[in-house]
């Protein structure tokens, strides 16, 4: 029986409807996006089963197997991301020195994609749900993101406090998720028009907050993983009507198709992606704020860092960041000044480098994921078999000098241990270790056969 959802899709897609229905019976498209700061494409191709490049992002490739236990995934060299999900950040066109806000950031695919484009810039990312915010933090750490602030809570207070500050804002809005129906079997059965309408109301509220945060000439990208025009074109039309100083601009995407004609917005200046286009489903609209003000991010004035902290850090890393902040005996480091934002819950700023315990600084796992191999004082290159042992909590024999040692696989740091000169005792956090029966591998068993 044809559901209301399918009837609506038939009305919107017309001649393409049968192809859409056929696509629902095909396997879910999988993808990965690699970080060129950490690994070259040539090295990745030599060590991971990549398919063809996706049309949505130069760093995105199709894959046909689960790669969560691939050593390069553990080391943060790539992020497993549905192919079309990379389209929004590609259209956002982040520049190296941009100040960027990602308002609905968990679990972190688009957030870490933004971070991979930044050099001297800064990223503020927010997640409303506390549990999802911690997942986001874990992915930020795994991918080695350094210059960021992670907040948790409603977007309104955050955008009010940081008004007119951002060059780029991404709103990957919570939605009814029609593009994810193959991923979640019950989604089509639980679909309802009332849920679509409730999502649209929430999306309009988030966009209005995002508008406040955007500086003059700043770029706002709105995206969803749903098909309904109520959550896409109609949301954009309502937003443009309410904010006449916002204009649509050409997304310059060589993928997907135009939007659905809707009064109050230009359907030619949005991108819709369906499974027939090589992705599970996405909508992207790019807008520019042509009036308004420009303001610098409010930042903290830090006390001069004590020499003891610097000397402790120099035991583990060669390069000491300019910004070192100590709070509740925990040491945080990054290149960008720390954000001053008192009205929101701040989960993390920068890299957690370590914790002062009495008169010694105990390093944190995140520190040994944040830098390239050459930045660490002591390193130990591991084989695939040794990495598997380490990820199950075992020590390894080694005559590396005494001290804290960065574990590396093919030159990629992924954690650390403490050497006594004869062996390296494991410091991988228990929550990140692999379960018994699960192993580090470059290809799954099915592929190996």
Q: What element of type H or E holds 183?
A: none
Q: Assess contact for 30 and 80: CB atoms under 8 A.
A: yes
Helices (H), 39-129: 41-47, 71-74, 87-92, 109-115
CA distances from 380 to 141, 201, 372, 434 (A): 20, 53, 13, 20
Of 346, 370, 243, residue with least CA distance to 235: 243
The answer for residues whose C-beta is within 8 angstroms of residue 379's C-beta and 6 or more apart is 373, 405, 406, 407, 408, 413
Closest-CA residue to 147 (of 422, 348, 406, 431)? 348
Candidates 175, 225, 341, 408; catalytic one: 225
Tokens describing residue 127: 């997640």
The residue behind tokens 């005494």 is 402
Q: How many CB atoms lie within 10 A of CB 93?
A: 14
Beta strands in 55-164 (DSSP E): 60-63, 78-80, 99-102, 122-127, 148-152
Helix (H, G, I), strand (E, B) or coil at 230: coil
Q: Which residues contact 426 (CB under 8 A, 6 or more apart)?
A: 390, 393, 394, 395, 417
Inter-residue contact 117 to 123 (CB < 8 Å): no
Residue 391, Cβ density class (10 Å: 0-12 exposed, 13-18 middle, ≥19 buried) = buried
Closest CA to 64 of 32, 30, 33, 41: 30
Q: From residue 348, how far is each of 47, 280, 308, 385, 431 by CA, in Å? A: 33, 32, 23, 34, 19
Secondary element (H or E) of residue 193: helix 193-213
100 and 122 Cβ atoms separated by less than 8 Å: yes
Active site annotation includes 159: no
Helix (H), strand (E) at residue 386? helix 384-391
Enzyme catalytic residues: 225
């Amino acid at each position: 029986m044809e559901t209301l959802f399918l009837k609506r899709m038939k009305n919107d897609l017309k001649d393409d409807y049968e192809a859409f229905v056929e696509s629902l019976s095909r396997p879910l498209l999988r993808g990965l996006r690699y970080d060129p700061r950490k690994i070259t494409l040539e090295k990745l191709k030599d060590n991971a089963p990549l398919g063809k490049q996706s049309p949505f992002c130069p760093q995105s490739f199709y894959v046909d197997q689960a790669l969560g236990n691939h050593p390069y995934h553990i080391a943060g060299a790539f992020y497993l991301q549905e192919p079309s999900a990379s389209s929004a950040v590609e259209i956002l066109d982040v520049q190296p020195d941009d100040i960027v806000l990602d308002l609905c950031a968990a679990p972190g695919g688009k957030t870490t994609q933004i971070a991979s484009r930044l050099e001297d810039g800064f990223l503020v990312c927010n997640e409303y749900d506390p549990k999802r915010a911690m997942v986001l933090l874990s992915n930020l750490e795994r991918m080695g993101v350094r210059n960021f602030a992670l907040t948790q809570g409603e977007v309104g207070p955050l955008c009010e406090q940081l008004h007119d500050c951002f060059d780029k804002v991404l709103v990957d809005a919570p939605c009814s998720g029609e593009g994810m129906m193959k991923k979640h079997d019950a989604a089509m059965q639980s679909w309802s028009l009332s849920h679509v309408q409730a999502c649209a109301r929430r999306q309009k509220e988030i966009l209005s907050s995002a508008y406040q945060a955007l500086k003059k000439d700043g770029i706002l990208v709105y995206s969803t993983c749903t098909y309904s025009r109520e959550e896409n074109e109609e949301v954009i039309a309502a937003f443009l009507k309410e904010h006449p100083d916002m204009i649509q601009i050409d997304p310059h995407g060589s993928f997907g198709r135009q939007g659905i004609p809707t009064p109050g917005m230009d359907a030619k200046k949005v991108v819709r992606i369906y499974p027939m286009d090589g992705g599970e489903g996405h909508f992207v609209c790019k807008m520019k704020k042509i009036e308004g003000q420009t303001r610098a991010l409010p930042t903290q004035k830090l006390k001069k860092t004590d020499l003891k902290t610097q000397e402790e850090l120099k035991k583990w890393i060669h390069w000491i960041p300019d910004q070192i902040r100590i709070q509740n005996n925990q040491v945080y480091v990054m290149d960008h000044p720390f954000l001053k934002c008192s009205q929101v819950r701040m989960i993390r700023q920068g890299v957690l480098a370590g914790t002062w315990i009495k008169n010694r600084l105990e390093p944190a796992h995140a520190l040994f994921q944040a830098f390239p191999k050459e930045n660490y004082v002591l390193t130990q290159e591991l084989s695939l078999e040794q990495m598997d042992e380490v990820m199950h909590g075992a020590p390894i024999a080694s005559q590396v000098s005494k001290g804290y040692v960065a574990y590396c696989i093919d030159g990629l740091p992924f954690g650390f241990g403490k050497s006594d000169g004869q062996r390296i005792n494991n410091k991988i956090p228990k929550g990140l270790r692999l379960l018994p029966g699960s192993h580090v591998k470059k290809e799954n068993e099915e592929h190996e056969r």
